[in-house]
Chain A
Amino acid sequence: MISNVFRNLFSRPATRPFPASAREPAPDARGSVDFNIESCVFCGACALRCPTEAIEVNRQERTLEFDLFRCVGCACCAEACKHGCVQMRAAYSGPTFQKPEMRFQGVPIVKAEDAER
């Protein structure tokens, strides 16, 4: 153990001086979920595949509600989405005082006959 002690005394510390230097996550890390609501068609595939039922999609009202507390970062939604609207971000959601309420409202579809009226 003495050799370990000397090696530790004369080498750099193993810890990072956070917050002076932050840790960069790996490029493919499953940190947090990103929703791009503009390209979303509200098919509900992500909600179906989510193992914790963290996503709720309402097709008629074109809303998507995401419960950040329930998400486990498994990336099933990102795999299920065929339009690329759900992406995994490598950076995990940092510490905040209040978790953001993630409720997205898509543009409601107006049918052609309603638009004429």
Chain B
Amino acid sequence: MPTRTVIPFGPQHPVLPEPIQLKLTLRDETVLEAVPQIGYVHRGVEKAGERMDFNQSLFLVERICGICSFIHALCYCQAIEAIMGLEPPPRARYLRVVWSELHRLQSHHLWLGLYADSFGYESLFMQFWRNRETLMDIFEKTAGNRVIISTCSIGGVRRDIGPELQSEVLRALDEVEKGLNHTVPVMLNDYTVKKRTVGVGVLTKEQALSLGAAGPTLRGSGVAQDARMDGFAAYAELGIEPVVEEAGDCYARAKVRMRECYQSIELVRKAIRQMPEGEIAVRPRGRPNGRAIMRVEQPRGELMYFIAANGSPKLERLRVRTPTFANVPPLVAMLPGCQFADVPVITLSIDPCISCTER
């Protein structure tokens, strides 16, 4: 009689970037059911955000996640600006796009490396991460730090990217594009990679919509939704087309992210070409009083902030809804029926950022 085994996948697992536990019920090698358990990196960020001045909370929300940190700061600043009625100057909006897209590039590079590692392709993992180093150097030159770049502020940005730095950024992007041209075909065309990812972890369009998937998990299943289409920062002027694939398997989700890398490179080039002259920030006066909801597109999907302020320097409520939190139900729906060895590949294909999920 086939036996059922319950195996805990995580929280410590070499392939997971952050701790999440999936209790997998297996029959021989096939997964029947997965029960997620989170809470290993809960830091109480939302409560901590109520204890500090709203200017200081910016530095707190940046540190919710290291890979998408600028975009958390961007969402927070835009929400506070919406409450206070501030309009950041055009140059600041373009600079925010430049840093957001560079952040998206480095996040996708990190993910591509970890994804290759999940099916054992360590050399490809290192190739992607070496390419990522060029981006980290650019962050250090333009923003002062490699990971948590701290350049978004309420009312604009803290630093400017002058003409010499702009040409350095463009040179670095050429290098990154060359590196992508060498490594993306391996991910897309290699026989072993395709054997491990095509047809694995299928999420149909109906499932993706009904379970509330976000980001490349949603776009890989054929739904053309991207929060950048709303036109925040300078995206309305730059124009954005969501990158969509129809198959809904791990291969499709990986292809969406690789095509988004190229899209981000083009967006940064366009933003630098069209960047207007002018101020980089307006000075905020007074304290926020009101409520706002703001949505932006993180590398993993749609990020939503709800901020409630009541005129005091401390915020009344800071609520963060991150895309990986929305992608955990689709993950749990993708796992039944797959082989045990495919579990790391499927888990990584939603790009789990558990630090974001648990805040």
Q: Measuring CB to CB, which residues of chain A are less than 8 angstroms from any residue of chain B? A: 1, 3-5, 7, 14, 25-26, 28-30, 49-52, 72-76, 79, 88
B-side contacts of A79, CB under 8 Å:
158
Interchain CB contact under 8 A, A76 and B59: yes
A-side contacts of B158, CB under 8 Å:
79
A74 to B150, CA, bound (A): 7
A26-B140, A51-B57 known, 16 other contacts, Cβ within 8 Å: A1-B123, A1-B124, A4-B123, A4-B186, A7-B182, A14-B130, A14-B133, A25-B140, A28-B141, A29-B145, A30-B150, A51-B56, A72-B63, A72-B148, A74-B59, A76-B59
A50 to B216, CA, bound (A): 37
Partner of A26, one of B60, B63, B141: B141
A50 to B53, CA, bound (A): 10
Q: Assuming the A-B contacts A28-B144, A75-B150, are A4 and B60 also in contact, with contact meaning beta carbons closer than 8 angstroms in the complex?
A: no
A72 to B148, CA, bound (A): 9
B-side contacts of A5, CB under 8 Å:
123
List, sorted by A's number, 23 A–B pairs whose CB atoms are closer than 8 Å.
A1-B123, A1-B124, A1-B186, A4-B123, A4-B183, A5-B123, A14-B130, A14-B133, A25-B140, A26-B140, A26-B144, A28-B144, A29-B144, A30-B144, A51-B55, A51-B56, A51-B57, A51-B59, A72-B148, A73-B145, A74-B150, A75-B150, A79-B158
Distance in Å from the Cβ of B318 to the closest Cβ of chain A? Answer: 14
Distance in Å from the Cβ of A15 to the closest Cβ of chain B? Answer: 9
A52 to B159, CA, bound (A): 21
B15-57 interface bits toward A, Cβ cutoff 8 Å, 1 = contact, 0 = none = 0000000000000000000000000000000000000100111
Which B107-136 residues sit within 8 Å CB-CB of chain A? 123-124, 127, 130, 133
Distance in Å from the Cβ of A89 to the closest Cβ of chain B? Answer: 11
A-side contacts of B241, CB under 8 Å:
none
Partner of B190, one of A1, A29, A50, A52: A1
Partner of A51, one of B60, B123, B144: B60
A73 to B183, CA, bound (A): 34
Interchain CB contact under 8 A, A49 and B55: yes
Q: Which residue of B lies closest to A52 (CB)?
A: B59
Interchain CB contact under 8 A, A75 and B144: yes
Top 4 A-B residue pairs of the complex, sorted by shortest distance between their CB atoms: A51-B56, A51-B59, A30-B144, A26-B141
B137-168 interface bits toward A, Cβ cutoff 8 Å, 1 = contact, 0 = none = 10011001100101000000011000000000
A88 to B159, CA, bound (A): 14
B-side contacts of A14, CB under 8 Å:
130, 133
A47 to B186, CA, bound (A): 52
Distance in Å from the Cβ of A58 to the closest Cβ of chain B? Answer: 21
Q: Which residue of A lies closest to B129 (CB)?
A: A14
A-side contacts of B127, CB under 8 Å:
4
B-side contacts of A76, CB under 8 Å:
59
A-side contacts of B182, CB under 8 Å:
3-4, 7
A115 to B150, CA, bound (A): 47
Q: Which residue of B lies closest to A76 (CB)?
A: B59
Q: Assuming the A-B contacts A1-B186, A1-B190, A3-B182, are A30 and B123 also in contact, with contact meaning beta carbons closer than 8 angstroms in the complex?
A: no
Instruction: Name the residue among B56, B63, B183 with the largest chain A CB count within 10 angstroms.
Output: B56
Distance in Å from the Cβ of A48 to the closest Cβ of chain B? Answer: 9
Distance in Å from the Cβ of B174 to the closest Cβ of chain A? Answer: 17
A74 to B59, CA, bound (A): 8
Distance in Å from the Cβ of A91 to the closest Cβ of chain B? Answer: 12
B-side contacts of A4, CB under 8 Å:
123, 127, 182-183, 186
Distance in Å from the Cβ of B308 to the closest Cβ of chain A? Answer: 20
B-side contacts of A1, CB under 8 Å:
123-124, 186, 190
Instruction: Name the residue among A3, A26, A88 with the largest chain B CB count within 10 angstroms.
Output: A26
Distance in Å from the Cβ of B186 to the closest Cβ of chain A? Answer: 5
B-side contacts of A7, CB under 8 Å:
182
Instruction: Name the residue among A30, A52, A72, A74 with the largest chain B CB count within 10 angstroms.
Output: A74
